[in-house]
Amino acid sequence: MTQKTISLNENSYKQLKKLKKKNESYSDLIIRLCNLRNPVLNDPLLEFSGIFSEDEELWVEIENIIQNHRKSHLTNEIIREE
């Protein structure tokens, strides 16, 4: 593994040191902090955002299936309550 040396001022070092967990290296800490700043890494569903933007017909079909499924469940719940 390649290593790089970086320079930090005293204030930056102290702040990183406060955030560092007991058995965590500074490299691991920096990676953890970077992941917090990148929502895609925190929410894997965002990876699929916009997936249907190029195929609107497919999305309309999927949306209709979802709506029909919801309606059938609502109808079933109303019938059960009576």
pTM of the model: 0.46
How high is the mean pLDDT of the chain? 83
Tokens matching residue 27:
């490299």
The answer on pLDDT for 25 being more than 90 is: yes
The model's confidence at residue 43, banded by pLDDT at 50, 70 and 90, is confident
The answer on pLDDT for 13 being more than 80 is: yes
pLDDT of residue 75: 66
Radius of gyration of the chain (CA): 24
Mean pLDDT of 30-45: 75
The model's confidence at residue 50, banded by pLDDT at 50, 70 and 90, is confident
Closest CA to 26 of 41, 55, 54, 5: 5
CA 31 – CA 29 distance, rounded (Å): 5
